[in-house]
A and B are shown apart, each in its own frame.
Chain A
Amino acid sequence: MSMDGVELQILWSNLIGIVSEQARALQRIAFSPIVREAGDLANGLFDEQARMVAQAVTGTPGHINSLAAAARNLLENCDRDSLKPGDVLITNDPWMSAGHFFDITVLSPIFRGERIIGYAGSTIHHADIGGYGIGSGARDIHEEGLWIPTMRLYEAGKPNETLFQIIRRNVRTPDALMGDLGAQVSSGIIASDRLNALCDRYGLDDIAELSEEIIDRSEKATRDAIRKLPGGTYHGASTFDVPGGQTITLKTAVTVDAEAGEIVVDFDGSSPPSSMGINVVPAYTHAYATFAVRSSLNPDLPNNAGSLAPIRLKLPEECVVNAKYPSPVNARHVVGMYVPFPILKALAQVIPDSVVAEGSGAVWTVQIQGKDKEGRPFTSSMFNYSGGMGARASKPGISAVCYPTGVSAVPVEVLEATYPIAFTCKELEHGSGGAGRQPGGDGQRIGYRMRTGRSWLLNTIPSRLKSGPEGLLGGCDGKPGVFQINGESVEDTRKREMQPDDEVFMITPGGGGYGPA
């Protein structure tokens, strides 16, 4: 190794600073409430080989770790040598980036003089992408919206007008989407300036050596951490119901190879593909699987290609977490956000002090559409609510907090100011967390209606209405969720036509307890 611990520390923190700064700027200026309020975004910096060297310390695991794969995929689909300064690549291909059309990934090459020294990428959840809208009701992927293959959004700094026009005409909120896309592009330009300034400051021609050091050391540290675990194969399973009443089981066999310092997660035995839009593409499964391992093993180590490398996945061919074309994937987070739990249950047999008991899992998402009092059409962005987090070995689960995703909820006042919605309640559901030596976090009760005097469309994705999250090592289960319209339980929550005075009421699940009470 040629860089010493001082030099590397300085340069590394600079790289993370560059992407974090970009992520915060993106979040500030975004139109999509899910980005600006909920933080549903990812920024990453890649080396010339398209390996992720640094990621912003904001966003969600689903996006961040998917972005790591997206850069590689995008570059495999274009002639790298033909890239010019000012080129910007784009895609929302679910299999190439974050698993559904809403997430648009933008990647800009970073030139230093004539040469590409790296790439700046971002993925954000856009307000709308046409098609079905957020929800699991589409029957194949083409019903779900506009599919943008790998293309150049900008060529040598000039916008690809044809593509822009196609996008504008195919989404319900074109201004917001254009604003957010513009913000992604400008974020890439600024990242490129910053990286060049860093190279100037430290007299670097490129970041190849720096990237090598970061990735090598991260990989080694991760392998060393794995080597300290007892080798063997450990099993865990998680069962939960999704909209429409279908029950999904995720099974994992987690093999710790203590010699090689590797962990392999095998999903054999998990549920087959679903006819609903809840199928998960491999990159998104990988994102949440690596999250579960990394957050239990060495959460302080920054995420990059090296720290992710020693964790590998085995996916059965016919499986809900190995989506194949043309399966619908729109609400992939419903299943994807449960991916960590069977892994954590397996790891509980190895590192019981570091894991989290099963929690409410996927955040419940809501989208509303209709016309306001004056008859102007509106389509809301997706907004989400959390249940209780599972308990930890020495701490209770946190109530009403997004886990495993890293998003926030949109404040009630922001939603009421943006859309003609009025909430009737949003409070904790006390006692919904499972009892235990450490209790699970509580879920929450949320009610809302429209103030338009017109009929409207509701698109929600609750889950765990039948059985609550399981307690860990003797802890009690959390309470399942409740979803009602006008006081009556509803199972099928696919896009529904609602009457003007209809009131929605839901209780999100509580988290599982840890250890016997």
Chain B
Amino acid sequence: MTRYSLAIDIGGTFTDAVLLADDGRSFVDKTLTTHNNLLEGFFRGVELVTGHAGIAPTDVDDVVVHATTVVTNALIERKGPPVGLILTEGFRDILYIREEHRYDMYDPQIEFAEPLIPAERTFTLKERTFADGTVGTPVDRDEVLKVIADCRAKGIVSVAVCLLNAYRNGKNEEEVRRIFAEEAPDIYVSISSVIAPQMREYLRASTTAINAYTVPITRPYLTALIAELKDRGFKQQPLIMLSNGGVIGAERASTMPVRMIESGPAAGALVACYFSRIFGIPDLISFDMGGTTAKACMVQNHEPLVTGTFEVDRRYRFKPGSGMPITVPSIDMIEIGAGGGSIAWVNDLGLLKIGPESAGSMPGPVCYGRGGEDPCVTDADLVLGILNADRFLGGDMQLNLSGAEAAYDRLGETLGLSREKAAWGVFEVVCEQMAAATRTHATERGIDYRGQPLLAFGGAGPVHACMVAELTESLKVIYPPLASVLSAFGTLVTPAQIDLVRSHVATLDTIDWCGVDRVLDSMILEGSTALAEAGIREEEFTFTFAAEMRYLGQQSEVRIDLPADPRQMRDAQAIKDIFEEEYDKQYGLKLDGMEIEIVNWLVTASGRQPKRDPGQAGLDGDRGEETRPVHIKGEAQEVPVWQRRAISETDRIAGPVIIEERETTIFVLGGWVVTRHESGSLVAEKTGEAA
């Protein structure tokens, strides 16, 4: 009996659907995202792929996994119902004061986004917990009752509670939640000691506010999804992709929407991990370039890097710092404003710049013929001959070559370069921007990026990846199959996983192991419950442990992965050794004789890695008989053109070469050789061989 699993990834433009059968067949489709009612597009996608496979929804007996931008959209659109914020008396403006920092030192015109929860819906309580965890002033029930009455009067449906020092002791917050549960069970309460139990009041309040703000949107959405899937005869509760790269039951996810923000991109990073295992390559860099942005993620030892803080909804010129910070575990990604639709321009100094302005999909690049006039990255690819005007999207969309050429004539004139040299400049600069971002990102994390293979996907990724690889000194680029729906596929190769963080500060010399046991026991209990809800059997539970540590007196921590359960290890010296080694690796520094402190314990609870392979298609199409001129470094070269599906495992194709498939084009430079891997991926390797 064939088993089927299904993935739906709702993105900003498209909703992708992937259906995998355990006999190796795969079915994919794309449909436009229906922003007014996302579930409409969801089920259209379901019908399309199940239709291709000729099965009924009830035949989908394995997992249904869902990645969605619903949370991010809610934050950007800000059309949610009224939400309240409860803070400690004397500290009511935490969301307005932020960190008192201007994110751009020189630009006097910077702006910040309005706080998600405004002053008129912010309440304070006379209560106090101190930094050592002692409660100086307990919560006064009557005062909470007054807040509840105010909330009712203001039509508030959800509240965030972030009390001072609650990361150390959440007792007062729990008391507030308890009183709400008794008196106003219909108002949903998010408390900071559960949502983001970490030091720094602004980060924690921002994260908790985002959660409270999105609960009233995601809960009905996910509840409706669960109900409709059940109605249609699906057997399993859907799983939701989280920002940390794990999946979790939809019901649990609906209470922690702040963890779903990077749902789609996280799935993309997960695919990279999947292929890193297939290829037996522990470290690689995923490179996903689309219409407006490019994203990269470092995979280390088959796992994606995870970060503790990131930002959403950057308001002012896409600048870091202009958005809202979130401190929950998330796949650590670089995102830069450089995609196919990014606009090339020349600044006051005569330098060629690309982005962050983007022509988007409307009007889009000049070659789309929809009224765009500014030269874009995709126009450069077309002018250079890398793209074929007649074969874009399998020929479904005719590109306007002469328009693109005229745009590059104008840009070339400004730069004092020929049309083709200007286009090559754009190609080079956009690749360098990505490479530079990757270098900075990697070195900040103590990773030597040189020589690490790239995994290229997204509409524009395969066009530019080989050049990016040259610039990051990579020797290998992998082009996986299903590139256009790869993120959706990623959700299906993702284990159920939840990352838990708990502050429990102690120096290594004075560590109280019984206290550590209590903290870890409660984290493991929480993780087990979440896994069970996701339908994982107990014998498949895996727990891994890590600690965030620093020298006493520092405030930024280094994450240390522990080789075993610390409750069994109970070995401060071993933990110290690992910390010092990691610190030296990241910062080239060893500080002898300084006390070392553990700040946070981290537990990752996960189920087993599912094994699901994408299908493979038959062989046919052009095999390089035709060539077309490509302007490389300003010189025209005749470059052979292949169809991707024509390449067999015995072929060995020397670059420069163009390989076309329906949704994208692979461009491989001279000195590289392309082969096909048994997984269906194409692999370009640098050999230095001439064409």
Show the binding face of A for B, using Cβ within 8 Å: 4-6, 8-10, 12-14, 17, 20-21, 24-25, 27-31, 33, 36-37, 39, 57-61, 175-176, 178-179, 182-183, 186, 189-190, 194, 201, 217-218, 220-221, 224-225, 291, 294-296, 298-301, 303, 354-356, 385-386, 392, 395, 398-403, 406-409, 411-414, 416-417, 422-428, 444, 447, 451
Contact = CB atoms under 8 A, between A and B. Distances in A.
B417 A4 contact: yes
Interface in B401-428: 415-417, 425, 428
B91 A425 contact: yes
A386 B111 CA distance: 17
Contact of B200 (A27, A57, A386, A414): A414
B176 to A, nearest CB: 18
A10 B199 contact: no
Given A28-B556, A31-B553, A217-B350, A39 B91 contact: no
Contact of B587 (A4, A183, A398, A416): A183
Given A14-B436, A29-B587, A408-B101, A414 B425 contact: no
B631 to A, nearest CB: 14
Contacts of B349: 5, 217-218, 220-221, 301
B591 to A, nearest CB: 5
A300 B351 CA distance: 13
Given A14-B436, A31-B551, A427 B106 contact: no
A261 to B, nearest CB: 13
A201 B428 contact: no
Contacts, number: 200
Given A295-B106, A406-B102, A428 B97 contact: yes
Contacts of B594: 175, 179
Nearest to B505: A417
A484 B588 CA distance: 46
> What 9 A-B pairs have minimum CB-CB distances, sorted nearest first?
A425-B90, A408-B101, A6-B425, A406-B105, A416-B131, A299-B106, A409-B100, A28-B556, A408-B99
Q: How large is the interface on B (under 10, 10 to 19, 20 to 34, 35 or more residues)?
A: 35 or more
Nearest to B200: A411
Given A12-B351, A186-B588, A392 B108 contact: yes
Nearest to B106: A299
B348 interface: yes
Interface in B346-397: 346-353
B201 interface: yes
A411 B131 CA distance: 12
Contacts of A291: 106
Contacts of B346: 5
B96 A399 contact: yes
A201 B473 contact: yes
Interface stretch (B46-54, B263-271, B439-447, B617-625): B439-447
Mostly helix, strand, loop or mixed at chain B's interface?
loop
A8 B351 contact: yes
Given A183-B589, A221-B348, A9 B100 contact: no
A428 B92 CA distance: 8
Given A179-B591, A201-B473, 17 more contacts: A4-B425, A5-B346, A5-B415, A5-B425, A10-B428, A25-B587, A27-B556, A186-B587, A186-B588, A299-B106, A399-B97, A401-B102, A412-B91, A417-B505, A424-B90, A425-B89, A427-B97
A61 B555 contact: no
A129 B302 CA distance: 46
6 contacts: A4-B417, A29-B556, A179-B554, A182-B589, A408-B99, A444-B93
Contacts of B352: 5-6, 9
Contacts of B473: 201
A316 to B, nearest CB: 28
